[in-house]
Amino acid sequence: MLELKGNTAPYVQYAYARCRSIFRKGQVEEALVPGYIILPTHVAERLLVIKLMQFPRIIATVGDTLLPHTLLNFVYELAALYHPFQEACPVLTAEDEATRHSRLAICLLISKTLKLGLGLCGMDVVEKM
C-alpha cells in the first residue's frame, strides 16, 4: 500500500493529481490560464504564491550544492500547502470570475512546479490516483 500522507512521493503525486483534476472537471482550456491575473486574497492562496516564488532560488541552491533533498523538501512543502488551499478555496465554484481565474492560475503553477520538481529528481507524475 502506498502512503498518501506525510513526506512521500505518492503524497506529492496525489497533490499533483488533485490539482490536475480541477482542469478536467471544469473542462478548462489550459492555454488561456497563463494570461489570468493572480489575486491572492485568502491566506492559503498567499502562502502558496510565496512558496511558488521560492522555486527559482531552490533550483539555484540545488545546482550550487548538489543536494537534491532540498528540492524534494520544497515539493513536499508545496504539496502540503496545496491540500489546505483546495479545502478552503473553491476553484471551479469560486464566488466570482476574477477569483476563479486567479485560483486556476495558481493551480496551473502548482501543477507545473510539482511536475518539474519531481521530474528533476527522476520521478514521474500521474494524472489520476
The model's pLDDT over 27-60, given as tens digits with 9 standing for 90+, comes to 998 888 988 999 999 999 999 999 999 999 999 9
Is the pLDDT at 10 greater than 90? The verdict is no
Nearest CA to 82 out of 38, 45, 28, 128 is that of 45
d(C-alpha 80, C-alpha 16), whole Å: 11
CA distance linking residue 22 with residue 85, whole number of Å: 13
pTM of the model: 0.91
Would you say residue 2 has pLDDT above 70? no
Per-residue model confidence (pLDDT) at position 6: 64
Q: Which residue has the higher pLDDT, 4 or 129?
A: 129
Residue 11 and residue 45: Cα distance in Å, rounded? 20
Dist CA 111 CA 79 (whole Å): 10
Average pLDDT, the chain: 92
Q: How far apart are CA 92 and CA 76, in angstroms?
A: 24
Give the confidence band of 1 by pLDDT, cuts at 50, 70, 90. Answer: very low
CA distance 72 to 11: 12
Asked if 36 and 105 count as a contact pair (C-beta separation under 8 A), the reply is: yes
pLDDT digits (tens, 9 = 90+) for 69-89: 999 999 999 999 999 999 999
Grid coordinates representing 32 are: 488561456
| Sign of the CA dihedral with 124 first, then 105, 84, and 50 last | positive
Q: What is the CA radius of gyration of the chain?
A: 14
Distance from the first to the final alpha carbon of the chain: 13
The answer to whether residue 129 scores a pLDDT higher than 90 is: no
